[in-house]
Amino acid sequence: MFKTEVYINRRTNLKNKLNKGIALIMGNVEASMNYPHNTYHFRQDSTFLYFFGLDYPGLAAVIDFESGEEILFGDDFTVDDIIWMGPQPKLADNAQKAGINKTFPFARLQEVVKKAQEQGRPVHFTPPYRGKNMMTMGNTLGVHPGKVKEMASVEFIKACIELRSTKELCELEEMERHMGTAYNMHTTAMKLAHPGRTEQEITGIIEGISMSGGGIVSFPVICSVRGETLHNHYHGNTLKQGDLLLVDAGSESPLHYATDHTRTSPVGGRFTSQQKDIYQIVVDTNNAALAATKPGITYKECHMIAARTIACGLKELGLMKGDVDEAVAEGAHALFMPHGLGHMIGLDVHDMEDYDQKLVGYDDEVQPSSQFGLNALRMGRRLHPNFVVTNEPGIYFIPALIDKFRSENKFTDFINYEKVEKYKGFGGIRLEDDVLVTETGSRILGERIPINPEDVEKMVLSGTK
């Protein structure tokens, strides 16, 4: 964990934002896979990590915004536990590391929360996303587990978002330190992009690199020759010459900060000229969005710059037509890029997505859109120094979407469907970096993973045939 002061300071900042009631901050418990004691890799709740840093299951905390009191709830290990699990830190010692002096057995959580409820004071918490926490919180709050989520505190959520959006120096250092693991994952995948290899094999190898580097993957790996399927977690294909291998993968640092990068490689090492044309538009779009990313601009504006770059490029290739500004305003480009330019990243790969995506990515000034494509933009609001966002434009040829738009006669002024039909089977290309907003502009975190087509080809060719 970071130094104790980091956590004390965060909680002080939180207390400066709320002045009524208590916060109930639930840590996670182990997640059972196929029976109670066979568990997935433990992942602490991000809000709990942010304010307390303690990476153990079975904890919860209460912060009293009126008295300022902080209590850590948990249970010490028994001698029998220690025989099986080895020496374990004491709850009180853990509390000290987080800068908390008061500890209670976990069983007393209900009593403390009930007291606040009886006094008519608000109990603030973020929405639970795991069933077991819903059940524990239901018991604690005296409501049905299914009702807990809707009782989450918007005021508390907004305070957490304000704090977590701006990354501290120690957080940026942790993120940057872990970028080497991301680099290894992606360059290794490039080197393995040869005919005969399987998606499953490459997925395993890059998951292993993540774990060797100190943490689990930050989200389920996408490693597919069918890159046009945006949420593709099928890994059953064998790579063939001429395929494009899209790898969207990230790793958690030892302190659980996420990386998130996408690269798209030509299987065998050489782009076809058709592939290179589309690829170059995506590189240009990524670079244009990066150049636009700076304090003061909204990320929605950056998204629109990306959209415009894509539309221009596709018009040059004859896949789009008509007035580019009009096409982009109406959302015609979303046939090719139906998702947003990016999202905030930090303790979560989609940072704070458990809170409420609209509160994280939008505010009174920048409101979410309902237009297809733009409605998938997770981050629209104005950028500030030390925000970290992903920059991930892409171009895809999605047969089901092409058929849908065409059958609905959508955007016939802007889309050259005859030509688009010929690209069915092309697949998809996405190129994603993690970008820090600096005082004056922005920069990519870590050494940039090869992105120019010739560098990617060189990396693939340097690998195992």
Do 154 and 21 touch, CB atoms closer than 8 A? Answer: no
3-class DSSP string for 388-427: EEEECCEEECCHHHHHHHHHCCCCCCCECHHHHHCCCCCC
Among 5, 13, 82, 90, which residue interacts with a second copy (rule: CB under 8 A)? 82
Rg of the chain over CA atoms, in angstroms? 24
Look at residue 33 and give the partner it binds from Mn ion, a second copy, none, a contact being a CB closer than 5 to 8 Å depending on partner kind.
a second copy
Closest alpha carbon to 185 in 199, 202, 168, 173: 202
Alpha-carbon 229 to chain mean position:
18
- Work out how close the CB of 406 gets to a second copy at its nearest, in angstroms, rounded to a whole number: 13
Look at residue 442 and give the partner it binds from a second copy, Mn ion, none, a contact being a CB closer than 5 to 8 Å depending on partner kind.
none
Among 57, 122, 145, 322, which residue interacts with a second copy (rule: CB under 8 A)? 145
If one asks whether residue 78 binds a second copy (CB under 8 A), the answer comes out as no
Among 10, 21, 24, 45, which residue interacts with a second copy (rule: CB under 8 A)? 45
Do 380 and 298 touch, CB atoms closer than 8 A? Answer: yes
Among 19, 67, 86, 107, which residue interacts with a second copy (rule: CB under 8 A)? 86
Q: Alpha-carbon distance 101 to 12, whole Å?
A: 15
Using the structure block, give the residue that is written with the tokens 């979560």. Answer: 348
- In the region spanning residues 205 to 264, those forming contacts with a second copy, defined by CB under 8 A, are 205-214, 218-220, 226, 229-232, 234
Look at residue 390 and give the partner it binds from Mn ion, a second copy, none, a contact being a CB closer than 5 to 8 Å depending on partner kind.
Mn ion
If one asks whether residue 390 binds Mn ion (CB under 5 A), the answer comes out as yes
Amino acid at 21: G
Among 87, 107, 150, 370, which residue interacts with a second copy (rule: CB under 8 A)? 87
Do 185 and 268 touch, CB atoms closer than 8 A? Answer: no
What DSSP designation does 254 have?
A: T
If one asks whether residue 293 binds a second copy (CB under 8 A), the answer comes out as no
Among 146, 195, 196, 296, which residue interacts with a second copy (rule: CB under 8 A)? 146
- Work out how close the CB of 169 gets to a second copy at its nearest, in angstroms, rounded to a whole number: 23
Amino acid at 457: E
- Work out how close the CB of 430 gets to a second copy at its nearest, in angstroms, rounded to a whole number: 13
**Residue closer to a second copy (CB basis): 35 or 364:** 35
- In the region spanning residues 218 to 277, those forming contacts with Mn ion, defined by CB under 5 A, are 260
Q: Alpha-carbon distance 270 to 463, whole Å?
A: 13
Q: Report the run of H or E that residue 33 belongs to, with start and end.
A: strand 32-35
Residues that bind a second copy (CB under 8 A): 31-41, 43, 45-46, 79, 82-87, 129-135, 138-139, 144-146, 200-214, 218-220, 226, 229-232, 234, 338, 347-350, 353-354, 398, 400-401, 404
